[in-house]
């Protein structure tokens, strides 16, 4: 299976020697959940990198970004147009954080700053229903998070499958081709920790809560399995 990574940000230069860049993070966690070999192609959408054809890959992953989906930037508008094309062709796609929010935003939903402020550290989400692609059933799961915005309104026909009191739309599906997660299955705790430390003043009261939450276990392997099951379903 060939997975296209639509890379919407880069790890800060001073952190790359320790953690690599985002495409490597996704490859690591997806490879850990895969039964066989996966092939990847990375497209740097900030630099205008896109596949020549949507069918160049079997499915796509849209990464997180430090930007907001409602920012007036050409690269965000172009990525939004590509999402519309993916939707029209019903191409299997997974949206993570910014990707989750942008899919909602360009397909008739809305993303806004969250009333509760920043969501960082380990968050727990309740699972709604029993999606057919979710072979490992569970009532809840935990992921590392780092976001200030949230999906405030869903696109028509989208269905929430993950939620929390802090984040009522933490994951949704649209048709059989889009699935999204607000959390970051690609993150590891040391990276989440150093990211919070670098944003301590910006995070304000969320910082202490986020740092304390790192003692909790996370389910990135489970979510990576779900991602692959969805892409292959």
Q: Using the predicted structure, report yes or no on whether residue 135 has a pLDDT greater than 90.
A: no
* Enclosing H/E stretch for 41: strand 39-44
Among 87, 105, 145, 186, the one annotated catalytic: 186
**pLDDT-based confidence at 37, cuts 50/70/90?**
confident
User: For 207, phi and psi rounded to 5 degrees?
Assistant: -60, -55
Q: Catalytic annotation on 97?
A: yes
Write out the residue range of the structural domain in which residue 188 sits: 2-232
Token pair in block for residue 116: 């509760």
Which residue reads 């490597």 in tokens?
Answer: 24
Would you state the pLDDT for residue 136?
Answer: 83
Give the CATH number for residue 194: 3.40.50.880
Could you tell me if 176 and 111 are in contact, meaning their C-beta atoms sit under 8 angstroms apart?
no
Query: What average pLDDT does range 189-194 have in this prediction?
Result: 98
Residue at token pair 């959390």: 183
DSSP code at position 114: -
Structure tokens at 58: 């079997």
Name the pTM for this structure. 0.97
Helices within 51-122 (DSSP H only): 74-88, 98-106
Q: Is 167 a catalytic residue?
A: no
Q: Which of 87, 105, 123, 184 is catalytic?
A: 184
Q: What percentage of residues in the chain have a pLDDT greater than 90?
A: 95
Query: What residues contact residue 52 under an 8 Å CB cut-off, 6+ apart?
Result: none
Considering the candidates 57, 97, 145, 167, report the single residue annotated as catalytic.
Answer: 97
186 is catalytic: yes
Residue tagged 């028509």 (tokens):
156
In this structure, of 131-135, 184-188, 209-213, the range with the lowest mean pLDDT score is 131-135
Q: What is the pLDDT of residue 36?
A: 84
Mean pLDDT over 144-168 rounds to 97
Please identify which residue in the block is written with the tokens 């705790």.
Answer: 189
Contact between 141 and 124 under an 8 Å Cβ cutoff? The reply is yes
Q: Please, which residues have CB within 8 angstroms of residue 213's CB and are 6 or more apart in sequence?
A: 121, 122, 123
| Domain count along the chain | 1
65-83 tens-digit pLDDT: 999 999 999 999 999 999 9
């Amino acid at each position: 299976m060939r997975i296209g990574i639509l890379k919407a940000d880069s790890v800060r230069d001073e952190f790359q020697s320790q953690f690599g860049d985002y495409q490597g993070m996704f490859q690591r966690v997806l490879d850990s959940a895969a039964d066989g070999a996966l092939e990847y192609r990375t497209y740097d959408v900030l630099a205008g990198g896109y596949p020549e054809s949507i069918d160049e890959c079997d499915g796509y992953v849209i990464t997180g970004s430090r930007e907001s989906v409602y920012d007036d930037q050409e690269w965000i508008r172009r990525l939004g147009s590509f999402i519309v094309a993916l939707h029209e062709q019903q191409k299997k796609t997974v949206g993570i954080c910014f990707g989750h929010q942008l899919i909602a935003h360009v397909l008739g939903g809305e993303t806004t700053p969250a009333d509760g402020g920043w969501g960082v550290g380990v968050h727990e989400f309740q699972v709604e229903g029993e999606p057919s692609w979710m072979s490992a059933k569970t009532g809840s799961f935990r992921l590392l998070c780092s976001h200030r915005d949230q999906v405030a309104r869903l696109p028509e026909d989208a269905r929430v499958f993950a939620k929390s009191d802090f984040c009522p739309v933490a994951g949704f599906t649209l048709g059989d081709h889009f699935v999204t997660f607000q959390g970051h299955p690609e993150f590891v705790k040391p990276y989440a920790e150093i990211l919070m430390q670098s944003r301590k003043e910006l995070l304000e009261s969320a910082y202490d809560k986020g740092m304390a939450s790192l003692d909790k276990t996370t389910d990135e392997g489970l979510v990576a399995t779900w991602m692959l099951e969805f892409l292959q379903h």
